[in-house]
Amino acid sequence: GKDVIILAIKPQTMKKVISDIKDVISERQLIISIAAATSTQFIEDCLGKNIPVIRAMPNTPALINEGMTVLCPGRYIDKRHIKMAMDIFGAVGLVEVIYREELMDVITALSGSGPAYTYIIIESLTEGGLRMGLPRELAQKLTAQTLLGAAKMVLETGMHPALLKDAVTTPAGVTVDGLMELEDGGIRVTLIKAVSRATEKSKELSR
C-alpha cells in the first residue's frame, strides 16, 4: 500500500522480484528502479499493468549526500511522479531528468561508474606525491580536496574547465610541465575511451 516502491536489486533478479510483487501493485503506486541496464519498458512489461515506472541511475556518493542521479520516466509517468522521485534522490545529491532513455547507457558509464575512474585518479596523484616524498595520508588529503575543490569550481562558476586550467598555468611555470606529461600519457583520449567503452558494455547488457 506504499506510494513509492524502490527496486534496488540486481538486474538479473528483476523479473523474479516483479513476478513476486506484481499482484499487490496498483496503478496509483510509483515504481522506481535503480537497476542498471534495465529499461522502463522491460519493467512495465514484467508488471503487465499500466504501472508508473521511473528508471534512476544514482551513484555511490549518495551515501554522503553528494550523489548524482539521473531519472528517466516510463510510459505512465506524470509530473507528480517526477516530483516525488526528484524529492527522494534530491535528498542525497543532485538530480537531472532525461526523456531519451537511450542516453541511460552513457549516463551509467559516466556518473554511475564515474566514481571508480575518479578513485584511480586519486590513487595515482597520491602515489605521485608519495614518490616525491610526501607522507601517504597528507598526499591523499591534498589530492582528494584538490579534486573536490576543482569540481566545485566547475559546478559553482559554470566556467569552462579550460579557462579554469589556464588560470593556474603560468608561463614557464610548474603546472605546464605537469600538464605536458598528462598530454604525453594520452589522459584525454584514455578518459574519453573509458566512457565510450563502458557505454558499449552497458548497451550490450541492456534489455
User: Should residue 112 be labelled a site residue for ligand NAP when binding is judged by CB under 6 A?
Assistant: yes
Strand order in the sheet with 4-7: 4-7, 30-33, 53-57, 67-73, 93-97
User: Should residue 60 be labelled a site residue for ligand NAP when binding is judged by CB under 6 A?
Assistant: yes
User: Should residue 58 be labelled a site residue for ligand NAP when binding is judged by CB under 6 A?
Assistant: yes
Size of the site for ligand NAP (CB under 6 A): 15
The region of 28-36, 45-53, 154-162, 192-200 touching ligand NAP under the rule CB under 6 A is 28-36
From the list 154, 68, 153, the residue with the least C-alpha distance to 107 is 68
User: Should residue 22 be labelled a site residue for ligand NAP when binding is judged by CB under 6 A?
Assistant: no
- Sign of the C-alpha dihedral computed for residues 185, 186, 192 and 198 taken in this order: negative
Name which of 139 and 199 has its Cβ closer to ligand NAP: 199
Min CB(206)–ligand NAP separation in Å: 12
User: Should residue 70 be labelled a site residue for ligand NAP when binding is judged by CB under 6 A?
Assistant: no
Backbone angles phi, psi at 111, to 5 degrees: -90, -25
Residues with Cβ within 8 Å of 101's Cβ and at least 6 positions away in sequence, in order, are: 39, 40, 55, 72
Measure the CA–CA gap between 161 and 190, rounded to whole angstroms.
18
How many CB atoms are closer than 10 A to CB 143?
A: 20
Distances (CA, A) of 113 to 21, 83, 108: 29, 25, 6
Please select the residue that binds ligand NAP; options are 39, 59, 199, 202, rule is CB under 6 A.
59
Min CB(7)–ligand NAP separation in Å: 8
Instruction: Write out the DSSP string of 122-162.
Output: HHHHHHHHHHTT--HHHHHHHHHHHHHHHHHHHHHH---HH
- Shortest-Cβ-distance residue relative to ligand NAP: 36
The region of 2-10, 40-48, 117-125, 126-134 touching ligand NAP under the rule CB under 6 A is 2-10
The region of 5-13, 42-50, 121-129, 185-193 touching ligand NAP under the rule CB under 6 A is 5-13
User: Should residue 34 be labelled a site residue for ligand NAP when binding is judged by CB under 6 A?
Assistant: yes
Min CB(36)–ligand NAP separation in Å: 3
From the list 69, 53, 59, 57, the residue with the least C-alpha distance to 21 is 53
Min CB(84)–ligand NAP separation in Å: 19
Can you give the binding site for ligand NAP, defined by CB under 6 A?
8-11, 13, 16-17, 34-36, 57-60, 112
